[in-house]
Amino acid sequence: MRSYKKYMVLFFSLGTMAFQSCNKTIDIAPVENNTSGAFYSNEIEIKQAALGIYARLGRNGTNTDFATEYFWLASENRSDLFYLGGETSAQNDQLDLRKYLITSNTTIVSTIFARLYQVIKEANNLLYYTKEGEYMRYRAEAKFLRAYAYSELARSFGPTAIITKPIENREAILLPRAPLTEIYALIIDDLNYAAANLAKTYTGIDAGRVGNLAAKALLGQVYMTMAGYPMNDATAYAKAETAFSGIITDVAPRFGPVYANLFTVANENKFDLFSIQFSSGNVGTGSSLPGYITSSSSTGNPFPEWMYNSYTLQGQDIRVDTLLIKEMKLAKDLRFRASIDTGFYNAVLKPDGSNASIRVIVLKNIVTKFLEKDPGNDKIKAWNDGPRNFPIIRDADVYLLYAESLIQNGKAGQAKEYVDKIRVRAGLTALSAAPTMADIKRERRFEFIGEGRRYFDLVRWGEAEAISTLSAFKTHYFSTSNAVAPTKRDLLLPIPQNELKTRNNWQQNFNY
């Protein structure tokens, strides 16, 4: 694990120039001018190139990483789990996302789009400059990461351009928005290739790199997405069941028995199948997500007992739904204390207690799942230097998605075992009967708080359900603000304006 992260230090740094020089369009370097071919000359370089693809999901030479921008701000922040306790003048994109006020010019939307295409570009380069039959593991990793990038583009932006090799920019801007059926066909093909050419998992210095289990788990998730809105392909449920049933036994050893232990640095890469890797040390490989937990002044530290003195925050005052808090407390759900804090002291208690009288408890329901509560940690150097990995696919994803596919295929009795595993780990009793979709929805809501699943779940469960759920939440928490009611348009992000202005064959997403 540590050696892998040391590799990532290099490639987060190398990614800086490439990402910052991206020209805001689908940035594919011309083949005849691309010097990449000279780089892919031996296994060491190809391994480095593969690691470089992973690095695009991290800080990548910027202040924030993909998990913060995409899963926290553009996904969880727009769901019915979080609300704004107050507004600050910082990070206005967050406000626009939360209030459904984003436009095609919203910077964070362009950044997410560009990041995903950067992953695709780097994967295409590796695949283009290596031959089939050689370096199969690295080619399989590239296929997995390309499939992952396209899967996020599909569910967040809808149809978009398919690019499978390095091409010139003038060619790229002529590409149409391919239909979702074609995009998912590519994703499925890439994931099957990855599954056939990777070991189940990797450990030691390769811990954190994707394996066969990750490829098949992502394939199952893709089928579940296809089965829901907007494709509504009911045949995909059976395909998802098949994908998950093929790995369910192998995933069992990666099912952590204690929920709180899933999110510690000591246990990273033990219970998840695919996660974004982070490490502290002020070398550009730390997580920026802890900096967006709640708001403070640019020089203030709201968590003096948890974080070192110079820690500051960058975000809005994002808090967890009060009704959800009450529900989890009433159920005595162990996931509550492992994921959420309800307050913190605004000053450190000195050993002699001399400043105890000025210590005030600040009551805020905030997700602290990814906050390293260690004021003595001298490796964390900045607000965006958090050490904790961000899980994209972990044990509960497989169990709950498999259970959901079984229910949809009329096999709810078989699904009970997997829902009960999740519940018992959370300190709840096993279900008294076969699970229903209501059980699945409740467990997913509690299990993945802060992990960016909720918004995508609501969308795939149906247009009407998503809009009504989000609208009711908006009415409850934003009735006096300038937030607007979410509509069908908010089930996708807009295509960035800087993409539309370079081509005349793309139409903007609905109602943007």
DSSP 155-180: HHH-SB----S---HHHHTT---B-H
Q: What is the DSSP letter of 451?
A: T
- pTM score, whole prediction: 0.93
Check residue 27 and give its pLDDT. Answer: 44
CA atoms within 13 A on the CB side of 218: 34
Mean pLDDT, 10 residues at a time, over the chain (512 residues)?
A: 45 39 38 59 95 96 95 96 85 90 96 98 97 96 98 98 94 95 98 98 95 98 98 98 98 97 95 97 92 74 76 82 97 98 85 72 93 87 92 97 98 98 98 98 98 98 97 84 91 97 94 97
| pLDDT of res. 509 | 98
HSE-CB at 479 with a 13 A cutoff on CA atoms is 5
User: Rounded to an integer, what is the distance from CA 170 to the centroid of its chain?
Assistant: 31
Find all residues with CB under 8 Å of 56, minimum gap 6, and list them.
Answer: 15, 19, 66, 115, 118, 119, 122
Structure tokens given for 279 = 């490490």
User: Pick from 76, 51, 56: which is nearest to 118 by CA?
Assistant: 56
Say how many C-beta atoms besides its own lie within 10 A of residue 131's C-beta.
8
Q: Start-end ranges of CATH 1.25.40.390 in the chain?
A: 2-233+259-283+492-500
DSSP designation for 491: G
Per the DSSP assignment, residues forming a β-bridge with 82 are 320
CATH of domain 2-233+259-283+492-500: 1.25.40.390
Residue 355 has a pLDDT of: 64
The answer to whether 335 and 255 have CB atoms below 8 angstroms apart is no
pLDDT at position 409: 98
Q: Residue 125 is inside which H or E element, if any?
A: helix 107-128
pLDDT at 245: 98
